[in-house]
Structure 1
Amino acid sequence: MPNQLNKKKNLRIQAFAVAVGFGLLVVKFSAWLITGSNAILSDALESVINVLAGLVALFSIYYASRPRDSDHLYGHGKMEFISSGFEGTLILVAGLIIIGKAVYNFVFPHEIEALGTGILLTAAAGLVNFLLAWMLIRQGRAGHSPAMEADGKHLLSDGFSTLGMLIGLLLIWFTGKLWIDNIVALMFGLLLLRMGYKVLRSALAGILDETDRELVEGFMKVLRQHRKDDWIDIHNFRIIKFGGQLHVDCHLTLPWYYSIEEGHRVVDEIEQLVNSEMNRQVELFIHVDPCLESSCAICAKADCEVRRHPIVKRMDWTTDEVLKNSRHGSPDNK
């Protein structure tokens, strides 16, 4: 139920963000029409990207919240990463357009008018942008929505860009040097290229299931804190992200003499622990391995009646160790 409430809240906030973004777009284009400033046009074009990206994010959050079906057995959460990738591509395109426009106006200069009015309108829009970005990032993290968090980071970068642009416009206001407008636009375009790359890179990492070492360490911290002596070893640990949901595969080594019922009890205990402590929806598939004679060297189970060798050292469940695809203490991984 909490997960479902998060999804509904994500949808409401994203819809609100799109509506506000459309209003900001109107304000920024009005400022550009009044002044003719390339820097303000750059900011206005970025608002077009914001609205388009917000709409795509809204759809992806809705689509990703749909329950799994026979055609999508892991659910629809990957749609959020596709949305983030689309947003990153739009940002890259906007950056290229802005750089092209700035270079053009270096060759063919133009006048800027009513700069004071443009500065006031852009400053007001920038403040709203910062507040909206803060809200989206906060809810995106709380609701585990990659698309919403990406949209918030996009708006935050846009807000900082607007701040830098305002500094440039103020320099034009005080110095009267119009070429500063094109310099600011160029810097803004380069910043967009960098931001677009980062958003696209993050989206591809989610689509291609790149290892999130920080997330793996979060799981290991929970398991280390609640570790039982009969949890001998964890290896082949894998995490797949589906939007705000996680699917985890791993191998767990237990005493070889445990019954299927005892092994199932341990798996259930770990699954409940992880879902409780990680504060998000986690689907956990654990393959249980029986311990080997070589496992005695890393086994801390003091009451084991069939131990063949003394313990040498309890295995530290570090990120590097649990990602290995072989059990520890075995002949192929001492």
Structure 2
Amino acid sequence: MTDKQKIRRLAGWTIIVAFAVMALKFVAWWLTGSVALYSDALESIVNVIAAFAAFWAITVSHKPADHDHQYGHHKAEYFSAVLEGVLIVVAALLIMAEVWRSWQNPAPLDEPGLGLAINASAAAINGFWAWLLIRNGRAHRSPALEADGHHIMTDVVTSVGVIAGLIGAVLTGWYFLDPLLALIVALNILWQGWKVIRTSLDGLMDRAVPMEETVRIRDIISTNSKGAMEVHDLKTRIAGRATFIEFHMVVDAGMTVGESHAICDRIEAALQQEIPSMRVTIHVEPHEEAKLPPGTTAVPFA
């Protein structure tokens, strides 16, 4: 199974899992009448919508480049992640409205044991699936899959906190803990939503690769650059699964086009082997005409 098929299959199964978990959480809320469990169930609606959005984005991002999108469709996954962040914030605001209503009229819970057991089962399913999505999202450079996994993991942490707090409320009779827990859930969801949006906007703004990967790219170029004199103006950007690399390579003015092209091919092949999602552009310059951008320093090859 290819990476593309595996990612799309996981995204498809995420929709089914999201529906199942949502159903369990609404049953738990219906049995207990707990506003905290209601807030947990409400977030599951966001999970379902986000799962559909991620599936769409992953499908689009894997489409090959075409006449209108000559660099591919990699950034489609960031739109899904931004949408998910916005939906998380909306869910938090809806929970806060319910918290205000419940705070004024706290009431004992109905069937707390069964309701909490069902909610705990839903949290266990979510925990396993979130771990699977995060692991595969990182492995296959899929922002949408990883963002969905982090969102679901937030849901798991929320569920565990809600369950623990409601057990305390049942044992002590302090039923004001129910809306208080829901408020904590809402604030946590707001924070997680902001983090998802911020990370996705970084991707849309062509964020460079991390410093350790930049050093790795430089080392690969240096190791495979025999025949060139120096490199400068190295730039990188990340777009979904793809990493775009470009730099200027200075060669002797007397070198033939074929010789300089052979060096470029060697560097590209080495980068492709280490970073399969790489797209590289090399601007070859004769040493007599090489100009460094202001504020940069040429790095000679060993």
Shorter-chain TM-score above 0.5: yes
- Structure-2 residue corresponding to 1:285: 281
Is it true that 1:82 corresponds to 2:79 in the alignment?
yes
For residues 273 and 182 of structure 1, do their structure 2 counterparts lie closer, same or farther at Cα, with a shift above 3 Å needed? same
Q: Specify which of 180, 186, 196 is matched with residue 193 of structure 2.
A: 196
Tell me how far apart the structure 2 counterparts of residues 288 and 42 of structure 1 sit (CA, whole Å). Answer: 58
Tell me how far apart the structure 2 counterparts of residues 328 and 230 of structure 1 sit (CA, whole Å). Answer: 20
- Structure-2 residue corresponding to 1:165: 162
The C-alpha deviation readout for 1:192-234, integer Å capped at 9, x for no partner, is 111101110111111111233344344235445x254544433
The C-alpha deviation readout for 1:106-139, integer Å capped at 9, x for no partner, is 1233332111111101111101101000111111
- Match of 1:205, as an amino acid? D
For residues 103 and 252 of structure 1, do their structure 2 counterparts lie closer, same or farther at Cα, with a shift above 3 Å needed? farther
Is it true that 1:328 corresponds to 2:271 in the alignment?
no
* TM-score, with structure 2 as normaliser: 0.91
- Structure-1 residue corresponding to 2:252: 255
Tell me how far apart the structure 2 counterparts of residues 96 and 233 of structure 1 sit (CA, whole Å). Answer: 55
- Structure-2 residue corresponding to 1:41: 38
* TM-score, with structure 1 as normaliser: 0.83
Trace 1:198-277 onto structure 2 (pairs within 5 A): 198-214=195-211, 215-223=213-221, 226-228=223-225, 230-277=227-274
3-state SS in 2 of match to 1:258? coil
- Structure-2 residue corresponding to 1:184: 181
3-state SS in 2 of match to 1:59? helix
Q: Specify which of 44, 49, 53 is matched with residue 56 of structure 1.
A: 53
Question: Is the Cα–Cα contact under 8 Å of residues 232 and 298 in structure 2 kept in the other structure?
Answer: no
Tell me how far apart the structure 1 counterparts of residues 271 and 104 of structure 2 sit (CA, whole Å). Answer: 61
3-state SS in 2 of match to 1:235? strand
When structure 1 is superposed on structure 2, of 231-240 and 44-53 the one drifting more is: 231-240
RMSD: 2.3
- Structure-2 residue corresponding to 1:117: 114
Tell me how far apart the structure 2 counterparts of residues 169 and 43 of structure 1 sit (CA, whole Å). Answer: 12
User: For this pair of structures, how many residues does the alignment match?
Assistant: 298
Extract unaligned runs of 5+ from structure 2. none
Extract unaligned runs of 5+ from structure 1. 296-321
Is it true that 1:13 corresponds to 2:10 in the alignment?
yes
Trace 1:61-140 onto structure 2 (pairs within 5 A): 61-140=58-137
Question: Is the Cα–Cα contact under 8 Å of residues 232 and 253 in structure 1 kept in the other structure?
Answer: yes
3-state SS in 2 of match to 1:285? strand
Q: CA deviation at 1:248?
A: 1.8
Tell me how far apart the structure 1 counterparts of residues 289 and 201 of structure 2 sit (CA, whole Å). Answer: 42
